[in-house]
Amino acid sequence: MSGKQSKITGSTVRDDFNHIRTVIHYTKAAHDLGLWKSERALIERYLPDRDTPILEAGCGAGRAALGLWKLGYRHVTGFDFASELVEQAQSLARERDAATTFLEADATRLEECHVLRDTSFGGALFLFNGLMQIPGRERRRAAMRGLHRLCRPGAHFIFTSHDRDAPDEAKAWAKEAARWAKGGQDPRLHEFGDRYFEHDDGRTFMHLPDRPEVLEDITVTGWRFEHTATRDELASETPMVRNFSDNCRFWVARKLRLAVAGVADPGRRESK
């Protein structure tokens, strides 16, 4: 391949999600999978009030949001920056007579979505590693700050990632670290921990953080870390879910009642 390769951008990721193979993949999941047992366990624990407004970032074709509707959550707003997926979510909501709102919006530029400003959300979700599919750490932090601004004090934020520091990842990332040290990494990537790969259902950009990185990002964006657990620690998922996704890590944070987004938490730092 000749010529200099450009860095992966938000537009790259949006185009990948709007690709027909990816749209079919996520639409099928919305129809067939619904809410995972692990997702339900954490949502019902930290967002038990079914009348509270919940904001789901990266809603895709509506899998989680419509799963919440089925559980009785009546004020869920989902958004995604991939217009093709949003259209699929809206279509499925009509099919199921679900009064769930789906919007097209960019998680890194939520200040531009005026519709969302009219609601003070009691909780936020960024499931299926959606946050980690934003290229660039500062852009991921922008998304976390934007969700923080839209949530009321005390609101919980639940998101997922993969574990770069998991034991079964150690050997692969040691090799990748050696590549970065020599400057031999994929030139399209931004940071150590990034991956960009092609598979049967399309192309995927993914950042795999380690624990200190996630804890720092939570703190500097105004949230307070409360809990973390892997999917397999939370529930025994169905074969369909396990085939759809590898094990991932859930993170739960809470909006500090007196915090200002972007200012570090002056209180205690969680160590567990």
**What DSSP string runs through 24-74?**
HHHHHHHHHT-S-HHHHHHHHHH---TTS-EEEES-TTSHHHHHHHHHT--
- Does the residue 269 lie in any domain? no
Model pLDDT, residue 201? 86
Token readout for 37 is: 């047992």
CATH of the domain at 66: 3.40.50.150
pLDDT at 256: 86
Identify the segments of the chain with pLDDT beneath 50.
1-3, 259-272
Establish if 267 belongs to a structural domain.
no
By three-state DSSP, how is residue 17 classified?
Answer: helix
- Is residue 207 in a domain? no
Answer whether residue 39 is part of any domain. Answer: yes
Longest dimension (CA), the chain: 55
Answer yes or no: is 64 within a domain: yes
Owning domain of residue 55:
10-189+215-255
Q: Which of 195, 180, 190, 205 is nearest to 136 (CA)?
A: 190
Classify residue 205: in a domain, yes or no: no
Q: CA–CA separation, 218 vs 131, rounded Å? A: 12
Q: Is residue 32 part of a domain?
A: yes
Q: What is the pTM of this model?
A: 0.93
Domain tally for the chain?
1
3 in any annotated domain: no
pLDDT score, position 269: 36
3-20 pLDDT tens trace: 468 999 999 999 999 999
